[in-house]
């Protein structure tokens, strides 16, 4: 008997400024057979972001229509803007046997755990609160009040660590090492006895 397994739902979450987008980009560049779910959001597109690759950018009205049509697995209003996971993307990828990687905020990760109890939840953070503050300030996309709110939220998000399966610190200048750890976690989860078909 050779082990066969169900596709994984891998949820990458963590604090603002921790480099989640950079981790996702680096994972894509490795060319691994994952389906990366593109999150829908009502916030404005940043200069370096690409429609349909980084996010699906919609108006608040369009997002609310998506909610009404039950097109989202989960959604939340974060910093005054909507973010949500399109249902069709996830279902189609899992049906095809692909692992699915989602990038969501901490609230969204905990909601997804309820819908996908076997999901692998990975929390990504900077080294400490000072590093988080410096990264957000260097990003220069936040007004002073918004930056303060993100830092307060980061502290609350860290308090949810116990609800995650793994904690990966994305240290400055060590992105590729961070990605190596995430890939190692995914590979190990594929070999977990509880995930093999036909074993009871």
Supply the pLDDT for residue 46: 87
Predicted local distance difference test score (pLDDT) of residue 58: 96
Domain that holds residue 113: 9-37+97-195
Flag whether 158 is in a domain.
yes
Mean pLDDT of the chain: 86
pLDDT score recorded for residue 132: 54
Q: Is residue 24 part of a domain?
A: yes
Contact 106, 13 (CB under 8 A): yes
Residue 86 resides in a domain: no
Give 28 or 147, the one with higher predicted confidence: 28
Q: What is the pLDDT of residue 2?
A: 54
Q: Length of the chain in residues, anyone?
A: 200
Is 111 within a domain?
Answer: yes
For 85-144, write each residue's pLDDT tens digit. 999 999 999 999 999 999 998 888 999 999 999 999 999 988 765 555 565 556 555 566
Is residue 90 one of the residues assigned to a domain?
no
**Whole-Å CA distances, 1 to 30, 193, 194, 196, 199:** 31, 13, 15, 11, 10
Whether 185 maps to a domain, the answer reads yes
What's the confidence (pLDDT) of residue 138?
62
pLDDT at 187 over 60: yes
Q: Check whether 198 has a pLDDT greater than 90.
A: no
**Does residue 173 sit in helix, strand or coil?**
coil
Distance CA 5, CA 188 (A): 12
What's the pLDDT at 33?
Answer: 87
Whether residue 23 is contained in a domain is answered as: yes
Distance, CA of 54 to CA of 81 (rounded, Å): 16
Judge whether 83 and 39 are in contact, CB under 8 Å.
Answer: yes
How many domains would you assign to the chain?
A: 1
Residue 50 lies in a domain: no
Q: Which of 119, 118, 131 is nearest to 158 (CA)?
A: 131
Query: pLDDT (tens digit, 9 = 90+) per residue, 160-178?
Result: 889 999 999 999 889 999 9
Which run of H or E residues covers position 28? helix 20-29
pLDDT of 150 higher than 60 = yes
- CATH number of residue 181's parent domain: 3.40.50.300
- DSSP class per residue in 30-70: TT-SEEEPPPEE-SPPPTT--BTTTBEE--HHHHHHHHHTT
pLDDT in tens, 31-80: 888 999 999 999 999 888 899 988 999 999 999 999 999 999 999 887 78
């Amino acid at each position: 008997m050779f082990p066969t397994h169900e596709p994984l739902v891998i949820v990458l979450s963590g604090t603002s400024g921790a480099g989640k987008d950079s981790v996702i980009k680096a994972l894509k560049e490795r060319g691994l057979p994952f389906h990366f779910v593109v999150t829908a959001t009502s916030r404005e597109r940043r200069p370096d972001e690409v429609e349909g690759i980084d996010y699906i950018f919609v108006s608040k009205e369009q997002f609310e229509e998506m909610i009404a049509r039950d097109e989202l697995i989960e959604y939340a209003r974060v910093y005054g803007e909507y973010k949500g996971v399109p249902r069709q993307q996830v279902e189609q990828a899992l049906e095809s046997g692909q692992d699915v990687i989602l990038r969501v905020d901490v609230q969204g990760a905990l909601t997804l755990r309820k819908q996908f109890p076997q999901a692998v939840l990975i929390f990504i953070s900077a080294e400490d609160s000072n590093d988080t503050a410096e990264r957000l300030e260097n990003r220069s996309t936040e007004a002073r009040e918004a930056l303060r709110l993100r830092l307060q939220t980061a502290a609350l998000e860290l308090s949810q660590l116990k609800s995650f399966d793994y904690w990966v610190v994305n240290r400055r200048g060590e992105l590729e090492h961070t990605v190596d750890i995430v890939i190692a976690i995914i590979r190990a989860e594929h070999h977990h006895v509880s995930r093999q078909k036909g074993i009871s």
